[in-house]
């Protein structure tokens, strides 16, 4: 027997319609590529999103066809989030930090029909346009008078000219909530990028969950600064959650340096900011150097990479800004866990609370997670045992676009997504990433966290960067070695580094060897490319073998 409640699909357009009707004068402030500060409202944004949808109709784009963006965080990008998805097309957000060849690859793989880009990225588009035959229209996100006369891109139009003449009374279509809404490619460190195709349902459910008090705690009284880019897993879903709450939105555009971000926070009364550790480090460095304080910022979500303990302490103790450590992936929309304390933990000693904050946190309702051993059996939640982290939920990937399903079925037939992370979970459900599955070193039946090995080396004053990888060993299967890039002008010997491990970890977890390199190879998003490091070390043999 079915219930008798209204059969109303969860659509991204409904979030915008809600904001337009119930928070029409809610502010959206953007620092633009043009250099100025632009102000608009949800009401105006909704009108322009409808104009964009009309423009896509006029272009003849069918439901489900892809529209790409290469853009900073700003109101025009926000219009694309709602105008493209709301009209039934699929928004493809492209990471401009990828190599142009990779960008052309994802454009072709997604078969993008329209590509809109910020002026900053004109050189990228000039490099790729002739290799992207599916794209019918190239649109620069600017006024008509900013369009370069000699771009070399056929039929290039300005976004404002394109949408400006369109009707604002477009009616959002109603359709199945499982319809695809947007696609984001993983910046895989191995192989080609893989496309994650979100649905309206997954995006709206994630928007509700992300705004919960135990997650980002977003209300209409917040002013939210997503420093995390809108080309990184939908800026962690903030554009959708913002419309759902009617909060003020503050977009930083291209200016992610400490001074610009700080000034925007203060000028716009930002209460909540979300970003990755590297950007926050720039902000902290700037604010400290100027002896400044935050007058409105109360909390920040930090994810994308593990947040260093010193950064947590700085935000909390120096600046009174509460730090929420988060974990997620492109495949998880992205929010999987968030480190908000439980009630009993509020009574813990400060040191213990700070230690808790270093964990990636507990599952958001909707997500379930578990850790499993090599045999696929679930491992205990004791905060010590670690295993492969698996997750499931309505905003977790089922299969890749034009690809396979990576899901692993459990005994009752439920599918779990293997995250590729290795983690512990404690008795209170707090998860802590200890390594990537492909990086963990399997030595004599025990696992050694490459990140732990690297973190110790990083504490040595001469070390700029360290990368730990496993090398084949006939008796132990694998043994760790550590590759070291020294700071300019600094020096250290193999023996110095190995001696530095004494007393800091178990003897069997100390690497067998140290290899000095000029630089650790990094990918487009700043992640270490250990595969490339392994290639560089082809022919290497462990000492004594």
Write out the two tokens for 127: 């490099």
Question: 316 or 512, CB closer to a second copy?
Answer: 316
Q: What values do phi and psi take at 68, rounded to 5?
A: -100, 155
Q: Which candidate in 146, 442, 505, 527 is catalytic?
A: 442
Measured from the CB atom, the residue of 220 and 531 that comes closer to a second copy is 220
Q: Which residues contact 81 (CB under 8 A, 6 or more apart)?
A: 12, 91, 182, 230, 234, 239, 240
The smaller minimum CB distance to a second copy, of residues 293 and 342, is found at 342
Give min distance, CB of 321 to a second copy, in A: 18
Provide the minimum distance between the beta carbon of 403 and a second copy in the complex, in angstroms, as a whole number. 9
- Among positions 201-220, residues that touch a second copy (CB under 8 A) are 201-202, 205, 208-209, 211-214, 217-220
For residue 78, the minimal CB distance to a second copy (Å) is: 17
Calpha distance 499→492 (Å, rounded):
11
**CA 481 – CA 458 distance, rounded (Å):** 14
Closest distance of CB 297 from a second copy, Å: 15
Q: How far apart are CA 6 and CA 372, in angstroms?
A: 40
Figure out which of the listed residues 237, 246, 258, 511 binds a second copy, where binding follows CB under 8 A: 246
Q: Which of 53, 128, 141, 180 binds a second copy (CB under 8 A)?
A: 180
- How many positions of this chain bind a second copy (CB under 8 A)? 77
Cα–Cα dist 340/136, whole Å: 46
How far apart are the C-alpha atoms of 542 and 443, rounded to whole Å? Answer: 14
Give the whole-angstrom CA distance, residue 325 versus residue 316: 12
Measured distance CA(330)–CA(342) in Å, rounded: 27
Window 116-145: residues binding a second copy (CB under 8 A): none
Q: Of the candidates 33, 77, 36, which has an alpha carbon nearest to the alpha carbon of residue 249?
A: 77
CB of 344: closest distance to a second copy in angstroms?
9
Residue with tokens 């994650």: 196
Cβ pair 85, 59 in contact under 8 A: no
3-state DSSP assignment of residue 77? helix
Burial 230-261 (b: 16+ CB within 10 A, else e): bbbbbbbbbbbbbbbbbbbbbbbbbebebebb
> In angstroms, what is the minimal distance from the CB of 50 to a second copy?
14
Residue 531 within binding range of a second copy, rule CB under 8 A: no
Window contacting a second copy (CB under 8 A); options: 29-37, 67-75, 198-206, 348-356: 198-206
Catalytic, out of 40, 93, 186, 271: 186
Q: Is 176 in the site for a second copy (CB under 8 A)?
A: yes
Selected binder of a second copy within 50, 129, 200, 232 (CB under 8 A):
200
331 catalytic residue (yes or no): yes
Min dist. Cβ of residue 12 to a second copy (A): 11
Q: Which of residues 347-386 bind a second copy (CB under 8 A)?
A: 362-363, 365-366, 368
| Single residue of 54, 95, 181, 434 touching a second copy by CB under 8 A | 181
Question: Nearer to a second copy by C-beta: 111 or 512?
Answer: 111
Query: Cα Rg for the chain, rounded, in angstroms?
Result: 24
- In the structure encoding, which two tokens stand for residue 396, read together? 């977790």
**267 touches a second copy by CB under 8 A:** no
Question: How many CB atoms neighbour CB 481 within 10 A?
Answer: 21
34-93: contacts with a second copy (CB under 8 A): 63-64, 90
- Contact flag: residue 178 with a second copy (CB under 8 A): yes
Considering only 41, 333, 357, 434, the residue that binds a second copy (CB under 8 A) is 333
Phi, psi of 331 (to 5 degrees): -75, -5
Positions in 272-311 near a second copy (CB under 8 A): none
Asked if 487 and 519 touch (Cβ cutoff 8 Å), the reply is: no
Which of residues 6 and 491 has its CB atom nearest to a second copy in the complex?
6
- CA separation for the pair 377, 396 (Å, rounded): 21
Is 454 marked active-site? no
Identify the residue among 75, 251, 262, 417 touching a second copy (CB under 8 A): 417
CB of 384 to a second copy, least distance (A): 18
* φ, ψ of residue 544 in degrees (nearest 5): 90, -5
43 backbone dihedrals φ, ψ, rounded to 5°? -65, -50
Taking Cα atoms as reference points, which of 24, 29, 76, 72 lies closest to residue 49?
76
Given 395, 447, 476, 501, the residue binding a second copy (CB under 8 A): 395
Catalytic residue among 447, 454, 478, 530: 447
Question: What number of residues does the chain have?
Answer: 545
Based on CB atoms, which residue is closest to a second copy, 34 or 111? 111
Q: Is 221 in the site for a second copy (CB under 8 A)?
A: yes
Let me know if 40 is a catalytic residue: no
Report how far apart, in Å, the C-alpha atoms of 327 and of each of 84, 299, 342, 448 are: 28, 16, 17, 21
Q: Considering only residues 245, 424, 434, 443, which one is a binding residue for a second copy as defined by CB under 8 A?
A: 245
Min dist CB 468 to a second copy, Å, is 32
Site residues for a second copy, 423-452, by CB under 8 A, read: 429
Active-site residue among 20, 160, 331, 454? 331
Q: Which residues are catalytic?
A: 186, 331, 442, 447
């Amino acid at each position: 027997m079915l219930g008798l409640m209204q059969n109303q699909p969860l659509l991204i357009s409904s979030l915008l319609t809600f904001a337009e009707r119930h928070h029409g004068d809610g502010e959206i402030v953007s620092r633009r590529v043009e250099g100025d500060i632009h102000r608009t409202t949800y009401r105006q944004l909704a009108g322009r999103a409808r104009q964009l949808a009309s423009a896509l109709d006029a272009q003849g784009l069918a439901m489900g066809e892809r529209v790409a963006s290469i853009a900073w965080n700003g109101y025009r990008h926000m219009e694309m989030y709602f105008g493209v998805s709301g009209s039934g097309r699929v928004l493809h957000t492209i990471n401009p930090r990828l190599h142009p060849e990779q960008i052309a690859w994802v454009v072709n793989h997604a078969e993008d029909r329209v590509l809109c880009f910020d002026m900053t990225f004109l050189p990228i588009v000039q490099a790729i346009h002739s290799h992207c035959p599916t794209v019918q229209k190239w649109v620069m996100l600017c006024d008509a008078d900013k369009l370069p006369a000699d771009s070399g891109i056929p039929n290039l139009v300005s976004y404002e000219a394109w949408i400006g003449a369109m009707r604002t009374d477009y009616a959002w279509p109603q359709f199945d909530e499982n319809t695809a809404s947007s696609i984001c490619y993983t910046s895989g460190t191995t192989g080609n990028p893989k496309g994650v195709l979100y649905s309206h349902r997954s995006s709206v459910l994630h928007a509700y969950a992300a705004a919960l008090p135990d997650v980002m705690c977003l209300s209409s009284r917040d002013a939210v600064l997503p420093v995390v880019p809108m080309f990184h897993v939908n800026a962690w879903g903030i554009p959708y959650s913002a419309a759902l709450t009617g909060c003020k939105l503050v977009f930083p555009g291209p200016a992610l340096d400490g001074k610009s971000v700080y000034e925007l926070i203060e000028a716009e009364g930002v209460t909540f900011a979300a970003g990755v550790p590297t950007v926050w480090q720039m902000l902290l460095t700037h604010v400290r150097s100027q002896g400044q304080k935050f007058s409105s910022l109360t909390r920040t979500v930090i994810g994308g990479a593990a947040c260093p303990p010193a950064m947590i302490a700085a935000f909390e103790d120096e600046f009174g800004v509460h730090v929420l450590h988060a974990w997620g992936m492109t495949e998880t929309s992205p929010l999987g866990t968030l480190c908000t304390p439980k009630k009993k933990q509020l009574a813990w000693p400060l040191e213990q609370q700070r230690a808790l904050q270093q964990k990636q946190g507990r599952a958001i309702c909707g997500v379930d997670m578990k850790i499993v051993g090599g045999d696929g059996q679930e491992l205990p939640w004791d905060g010590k045992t670690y295993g492969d982290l698996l997750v499931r939920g309505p905003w977790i990937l089922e299969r890749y676009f034009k690809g396979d399903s990576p899901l692993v079925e459990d005994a009752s037939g439920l599918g779990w997504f293997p995250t590729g992370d290795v983690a512990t979970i404690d008795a209170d459900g707090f998860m802590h990433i200890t390594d990537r599955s492909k990086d963990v070193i399997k030595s004599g039946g025990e696992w050694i966290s490459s990140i732990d090995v690297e973190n110790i080396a990083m504490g040595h004053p001469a070390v700029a960067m360290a990368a730990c990888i496993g090398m084949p060993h006939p008796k132990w299967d694998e043994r760790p070695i550590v590759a070291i890039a020294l700071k300019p002008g600094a020096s250290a010997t193999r023996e110095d580094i190995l001696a530095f491990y004494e007393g800091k970890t178990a003897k069997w977890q100390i690497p067998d060897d140290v290899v000095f390199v000029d630089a650790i190879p990094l990918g487009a998003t700043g992640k270490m490319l250990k595969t490339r490091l392994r290639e560089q070390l082809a022919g290497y043999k462990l000492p004594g073998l």
